[in-house]
Amino acid sequence: MNAIPAIEKKDGVWKLLVDGKPIILLAGEVHNSSSSSLSYMEQVWEQGKQLGLNCLLLPITWELLEPDEGRFDFSLVDGLIEQARAHGMKIGFLWFGTWKNAQSTYAPEWVKRDVNRFRRAELEKGKHYITVKKFYNLAYSPLSYLCEETMRADAKAFAALMAEIRRVDSEEHTVLTVQVENETGLMAAARDHSDQADALFYANVPADFADYMRTHTDTMVPEVREAVLNSGEKGNWEEMYGAQAEELFSAYYTARYVNTVAAAGKAEYPLPMSVNCWLNRDGAAAGVYPSGGPISKVREVWNFCAPSIDLYAPDIYLPDFQGICEEYTRRGEPLYIPECPTHSYAASRNLLCVGKYHAMCYSPFGIEDMGQPLNPSQMALFGADASDPALAKSQDVETYSQINHLLGGMMDKLLSRYGTEYLDAASGEFEPEHAFHMDGVELRAKFTQQEGGCLILRERAQEFYILAHHTWLHVLSDQPELPGLDVLAFEEGRFEDGVWQRRRRLNGDEVVANTFTAEAPVLLRVKLFTFA
């Protein structure tokens, strides 16, 4: 049997391995309901192929997997795996169990009906069901992160799912990753307010956890570090962590719960497992975004409580895309983006993620609707910023497809430069121009539109592959002692089976004074020579 898909850090570089070979997930997450129907999915696989995707992220829901307690229906799991194979694509499954967007709408009927056995959170003392102002006036009644009975039932269902994936896929490796739950956390309150929750909140913080927090302040966000540095030897959550206590408490019990589910699944089949984050906005209080979910702010809590989780994945619907990429890589972890909008920056962000952040996964959400107008007010229900002007225009499908196909063709080359300075990228969304410096030459990219992007890969000394769109590209020497620069070769083309296939040789009017303008996406091979 081949090695099962795994993530590995080697020589400081994270990679996702399939059959021992690295892969970048040029993925798309489908709408929540698409993968509930195999016939509906037929067209979605086709769309994915046309977009040059190599992987789809697909929900598998508890309600359909275990319609009656202990009776499992694996027809969707098996069918989706077969469809992926028929289309030559991979899958990342998303387990919609206890949580989906901080709610519990995907729990099966037998869980929803038995409110005594499967307890709901108390957002206010004694109230299990409320219409919450802070949650857009929606009716809200999530399952409690403190209910061991629900945790055991969810873990059992998830283990059954992983056992089935092992049964049908341990040879072929179609399923590469599994997301455990979806955007966990509690809305409208920073913590559960049941009697059980109160008892735990006003009991001493577990000593091993308090010790861990004290010894991991280096990586913490400032407000959590400050709370931990000010905490005493022992005390209850409030005494120890003050204003941060409720969110840390929720994170502790949510992470512990999710880890129990993940560990039960890994015991059956240990695929790489991720959790995705509904992000916090600056200045917002826990509960306005899901409290206790796996955001960077409470990462150290999750690291302590959830050793079975391999990847922390931001769903990036907020405008500060680059800042969020920085935040989710600053601890030396791989960038894995399961969700982001299909607005007109989707393609340049793809270049940025692969080229600058050497990402493991980049996956716009609602991939089957790429090119269709977006609905900002509907997206705002789940954490997007409705006033983000980027949401006004959708991604052009042709551009996205061309870029993805070009990236897919050069994947081995890209991966060979991951973790090195020989792969870089910039985008017009964040700067009007960018100068790349390598080997004594400057490759200056000026973006002709904000949607433009440029990725540079160094092949060998003064020889580069450049993938660009909406970019004016100028090459010059940056060495005062060797100020002259000749273009030795300028070609457009693509990689097929790892081999460069030249289309046009570019010269004359196309490379006037060492400049070239790429409007539609193009992959260039550029060979330069500096002299005195």
| Phi, then psi, of 70 in degrees rounded to 5 | 80, -5
Distances (CA, A) of 471 to 103, 414, 513: 43, 20, 16
Task: Round to the nearest angstrom and report the end-to-end CA distance of the chain.
Answer: 58
Nearer to ligand DGJ by C-beta: 185 or 453? 185
Q: Specify whether the CB–CB gap between 394 and 372 falls below 8 A.
A: yes
**388 part of the interface to ligand DGJ, by CB under 6 A:** no
Nearer to ligand DGJ by C-beta: 159 or 337? 337
Chosen residue from 53, 178, 367, 379 binding ligand DGJ by CB under 6 A: 379
- Least distance (Å) from ligand DGJ to the CB of residue 340? 10
The interface with ligand DGJ within residues 287-326 (CB under 6 A) comprises 315
- The C-alpha atoms of residue 228 and residue 210 are separated, in whole angstroms, by 8
Chosen residue from 382, 422, 500, 529 binding ligand DGJ by CB under 6 A: 382
Nearer to ligand DGJ by C-beta: 220 or 384? 384
Nearer to ligand DGJ by C-beta: 261 or 523? 261
Chosen residue from 154, 192, 310, 339 binding ligand DGJ by CB under 6 A: 339
Nearer to ligand DGJ by C-beta: 32 or 83? 32
- The C-alpha atoms of residue 186 and residue 183 are separated, in whole angstroms, by 10
The three-class DSSP label of residue 9 is strand
**Residues 79-118: x where in contact with ligand DGJ by CB under 6 A, - otherwise, as a string:** ----------------------x-----------------
**184 part of the interface to ligand DGJ, by CB under 6 A:** no
Cα angle for residues 194, 198, 202 (degrees, 5° grid): 175
**254 part of the interface to ligand DGJ, by CB under 6 A:** no
Q: Specify whether the CB–CB gap between 259 and 310 falls below 8 A.
A: no
Chosen residue from 122, 181, 183, 491 binding ligand DGJ by CB under 6 A: 183
Using Cβ positions, the residue closest to ligand DGJ within the complex turns out to be: 382
Q: Specify whether the CB–CB gap between 439 and 385 falls below 8 A.
A: no
- Least distance (Å) from ligand DGJ to the CB of residue 220? 25
Nearer to ligand DGJ by C-beta: 48 or 366? 366
**32 part of the interface to ligand DGJ, by CB under 6 A:** yes
| DSSP strands (E only) in 30-109 | 55-61, 90-100
Nearest to 168 by CA among 254, 75, 88: 75
Nearest to 362 by CA among 387, 388, 381, 337: 337
Nearer to ligand DGJ by C-beta: 35 or 244? 35
What are the residues whose beta carbons fall under 8 Å from the beta carbon of 508, sequence distance 6 or more? Answer: none
**181 part of the interface to ligand DGJ, by CB under 6 A:** no
Q: Specify whether the CB–CB gap between 429 and 325 falls below 8 A.
A: no
Chosen residue from 237, 321, 365, 447 binding ligand DGJ by CB under 6 A: 365
**182 part of the interface to ligand DGJ, by CB under 6 A:** yes
The residue assigned the tokens 């270049």 is: 351
Q: Is 514 left (phi over 0), alpha (psi -120 to 50) or beta?
A: left
Q: How many residues bind ligand DGJ (CB under 6 A)?
A: 9
Chain contacts with ligand DGJ (rule: CB under 6 A): 32, 101, 182-183, 315, 339, 365, 379, 382
